[in-house]
């Protein structure tokens, strides 16, 4: 019984979306991969995958098991890689991409410490709020702030953040505060252009999920610009705690409708592959994981 091979095959099937794709990734046969997954399900006594003629999907048990298995395989590969490269120093160029606001506020102060600890590593940091293609554009690592539900990339979670609805005290004195999410439709709203849901904002409230179609008077493709407009009393903004935390703590912005929670997001270090991961990249990922263990903004 090869538990490692069973788990490896199961994860490969989920990542590839098919048994054929998993077989290619593992340089194995479709029959062998199918057998490993079937043996895993039989041993566990639970169905992990729903199979139809058109698609594969994870069961509820499969989703939880997949997440744990990804962590296990990552730990094994990291341990093997670390053992095989202990004799070498981290060196070479690292190309890193990150969102603009997060990169300026929370990453820029860290690069000096990393560079000092690894003097043979050169850094090339690019800030952009668009979604870059790591492989096509040649990045070693990207910082992503999202849910990463179906990403085919490999990731390590650094921290969490949530979107907070807020406005300046001056705006609220002049226009009043919304009592319900529906009242946002009649307020001046400052909208972030890259929201996947556009100008429709969703919240989980006391009576379940609520969505409201806002009517923005201001759009921007940068979070700092949105927050600056809110601080200038131009309307209500929905932005992450890593960006508005200081303004909320100082009272320059006020959280609205706290009983209605908006989206919770993870902040991830994302990279293309675990295979033969260079030491310089592992050192950077471990450095970021360690730094962000301590919360750097309000929960």
**What value does the mean pLDDT take over residues 74-94?**
75
Q: Are 202 and 211 in contact (CB under 8 A)?
A: yes
**What value does the mean pLDDT take over residues 252-275?**
90
Residue 152 has pLDDT above 90, yes or no: no
Q: Are 267 and 295 in contact (CB under 8 A)?
A: no
**What value does the mean pLDDT take over residues 256-273?**
91
φ/ψ (deg, to 5) at 108: -55, -40
Residue 150 has pLDDT above 80, yes or no: no
Split at pLDDT 50, 70, 90, the class of 84 is low
Residues 6+ apart with CB under 8 A from 46: 59, 61
Tell me: the pLDDT tens digits for 193-238? 888 778 899 999 998 999 999 999 899 989 999 999 999 999 999 9
Pick the closest to residue 3 from 51, 48, 36, 52 (CA basis).
Answer: 36
Write b or e for each residue in 109-120: b if 16 or more Cβ atoms lie within 10 A of its Cβ, otherwise e.
eeeeebeeebee
Residue 280 has pLDDT above 70, yes or no: yes
Which two three-digit tokens encode residue 20?
Answer: 């054929």
Q: Are 30 and 64 in contact (CB under 8 A)?
A: no
Residue 106 has pLDDT above 50, yes or no: yes
Length of the chain: 299
Split at pLDDT 50, 70, 90, the class of 87 is very low
Question: pLDDT value at position 83?
Answer: 66
Give the residue ranges of DSSP H helices in the chain.
3-16, 19-26, 30-44, 60-84, 100-102, 111-117, 134-137, 169-175, 223-231, 241-250, 279-291
Split at pLDDT 50, 70, 90, the class of 270 is very high
**What value does the mean pLDDT take over residues 49-62?**
84
Question: pLDDT value at position 1?
Answer: 55
- 178 vs 86, more confident: 178
Write down all domains in the chain, each with its CATH number in brackets. Answer: 3-84 (1.10.10.10), 92-152+267-291 (3.40.190.10), 161-264 (3.40.190.10)
Question: pLDDT value at position 151?
Answer: 60
Distance, CA of 79 to CA of 231 (rounded, Å): 47
Pick the closest to residue 165 from 146, 148, 178 (CA basis).
Answer: 178
> What is this structure's pTM?
0.67
- 245 vs 299, more confident: 245
Distance, CA of 86 to CA of 221 (rounded, Å): 43
The overall average pLDDT reported for the chain is 89
Question: pLDDT value at position 146?
Answer: 86
């Amino acid at each position: 019984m090869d538990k490692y091979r069973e788990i490896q095959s199961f994860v490969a099937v989920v990542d590839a979306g098919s048994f054929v794709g998993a077989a290619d990734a593992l340089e194995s046969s479709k029959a062998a991969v199918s057998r490993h997954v079937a043996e895993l399900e039989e041993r566990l006594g639970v169905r992990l995958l729903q199979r139809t003629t058109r698609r594969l999907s994870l069961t509820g048990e499969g989703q939880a098991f997949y997440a744990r298995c990804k962590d296990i395989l990552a730990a094994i590969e990291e341990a093997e890689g670390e053992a095989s490269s202990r004799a070498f120093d981290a060196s070479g160029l690292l190309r890193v991409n990150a969102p603009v606001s997060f990169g300026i506020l929370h990453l820029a102060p860290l690069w000096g410490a990393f560079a000092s600890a690894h003097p043979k590593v050169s850094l090339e940091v690019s800030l952009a709020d668009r979604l870059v293609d790591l492989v096509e554009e040649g990045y070693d690592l990207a910082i992503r702030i999202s849910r990463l539900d179906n990403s085919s990339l490999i990731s390590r979670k650094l921290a969490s953040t949530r979107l907070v609805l807020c406005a300046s005290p001056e705006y609220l004195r002049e226009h009043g505060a919304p009592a319900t999410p529906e009242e946002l439709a009649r307020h001046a709203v400052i909208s972030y252009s890259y929201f996947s849901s556009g100008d429709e904002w969703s919240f989980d409230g006391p009576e379940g999920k609520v969505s409201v179609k806002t009517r923005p008077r201001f759009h921007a493709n940068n979070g700092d610009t949105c927050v600056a407009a809110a601080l200038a009393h131009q309307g209500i903004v929905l932005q992450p705690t890593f960006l508005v935390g200081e303004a909320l703590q100082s009272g320059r912005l006020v959280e609205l409708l706290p009983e209605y929670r908006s989206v919770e997001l993870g902040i991830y270090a994302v990279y293309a592959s675990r295979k033969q991961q260079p030491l310089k990249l592992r050192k950077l990922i471990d450095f970021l994981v360690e730094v962000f263990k301590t919360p750097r903004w309000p929960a």
